[in-house]
Amino acid sequence: MKIAVYNCREDEKEFFNKFSKKYNVEIVPINMEPSIESTMFAKDCECISITSERMITKEMLDSYKALGIKFISTRTVGMEHIDVEYAKSIGIGVSNITYSTNGVADQAIMLMLMVIRKVKHIMIRSLSQDYSLDRSTRGQDLEDMTVGIIGTGNIGTTTAKHLSGFGCRILAYGKSKRDELKGIIEYVDLKTLLAESDIISLHIPATEANYHFIDKKAIEKMKPGVVIINTARGALLDNDALIEALESGKVGGAGLDVIEGDREIYYRNHSYEVLGHREMAVLNAMPNVILMPHTAFFTDHAVSDMVENSIKSCCEFLRSKE
């Protein structure tokens, strides 16, 4: 079987080499994003493996269908960049993959600590050899705080488990209730979570229903000085509402691995370009906001899992067809 791999990054190649041998498949690395122009490079392949930097449009799906592509595997958990219903309707199978949740969970906790320990501000001051102590550099102990986890799927669950070692009170709100979290968290309704949490961390998918899950109204229900952490998807958090609340002091800080409108920006080198993402520029300028370029997932372990599971999902799909 031949799999065309779009956006095949240099750092992924060692894993594609290793796992193509293990699963006896041929990899066609394509150093390009999927687009209507680049569909033709998947000629003679049965499957394509993609990432999430580009939307997979109906036109592209038609083009893949005409080339004989049977299956699309996205090397991501999120699938909102693919028109799955349309793909299915024209007979192309689609699947996402899972990978170790530790990377994202640990980064969420790292962002919590960086914000409450004022790391950005301290590092910037240290660069000009200002090592003085004052209220602006004094932090808080996680143990004294209540952390609210929104969403207890795989990543939210790992975040809660890893967080439990810090001794903080952990509240959670989510559709799926996990037995394994008994004794670690208290499930509460959303209103209680918003009202009682000092830190709120988002771990829900970017569905239509979850669009701007945290908006002006939700922020109004939060504690003054609350810290918001988003390692899930930018669309969950209304940028304007967040900026307004940071300016008024209602929100005391934020750690954002994602930001609405980041799809066209992250994972590319934009040196000497004017980005035109004003909210990103405003948030980046704030001493109490840490932006990361959607790298929470990016660990050796996770990248190895992503490549292996993408190849595996192609093999399983074709086997099921046989």
Q: How far is the CB of 23 from ligand COI (least distance, A)?
A: 21
- Residue in 7, 39, 49, 76 binding ligand COI, rule: CB under 6 A: 76
- Could you give the residue ranges of the DSSP H alpha helices within 265-299? 278-284
**CB of 206 within 8 A of CB of 95?**
no
Q: Which long-range contacts (CB under 8 A, 24 or more apart) does 127-133 make?
A: none
Measured from the CB atom, is 139 or 153 closer to ligand COI? 153
217: number of Cβ within 10 Å:
11
Work out whether 84 is an interface residue with ligand COI (CB under 6 A).
no
Inter-residue contact 53 to 45 (CB < 8 Å): no
Rule CB under 6 A: choose which of 26, 31, 78, 176 binds ligand COI: 78
* Nearest approach, Cβ of residue 279 and ligand COI (Å): 20
Candidates 75-83, 111-119, 162-170, 283-291: pick the segment binding ligand COI (CB under 6 A).
75-83
By the 10 Å C-beta count (0-12 exposed, 13-18 middle, 19+ buried), 310 is classed as buried
Q: Which is nearer to ligand COI, 52 or 152 (CB)?
A: 52
Of the candidates 9, 12, 5, the residue with the CA atom closest to the CA atom of residue 34: 5
Site size toward ligand COI, by CB under 6 A: 7
Helix or strand run (H / E) with residue 228 = strand 226-230
Cβ distance to ligand COI smaller for residue 41 or 297: 297
Q: Which stretch binds ligand COI (CB under 6 A): 74-82, 125-133, 157-165, 313-321?
A: 74-82
Considering the rule CB under 6 A, would residue 310 count as an interface residue with ligand COI?
A: no
Helices (H) and strands (E) in the chain, counts: 11, 12
Tell me if 297 contacts ligand COI by CB under 6 A. yes
Q: What angle do CA 109, 114, 119 make, to 5 degrees?
A: 165
- Closest CB to ligand COI among residues 197, 310: 310
> Which residues, numbered 8-67, are part of the site for ligand COI (CB under 6 A)?
51-52
User: Contact between 77 and ligand COI (CB under 6 A)?
Assistant: yes
Q: Does 229 bind ligand COI (CB under 6 A)?
A: no
The rounded distance, in Å, linking the Cα atoms of 281 and 298 is 24
Can residue 6 be called a binding residue for ligand COI (CB under 6 A)? no
8 A C-beta contact, residue 200 and residue 222? yes
The residues binding ligand COI (CB under 6 A) are 51-52, 76-78, 294, 297
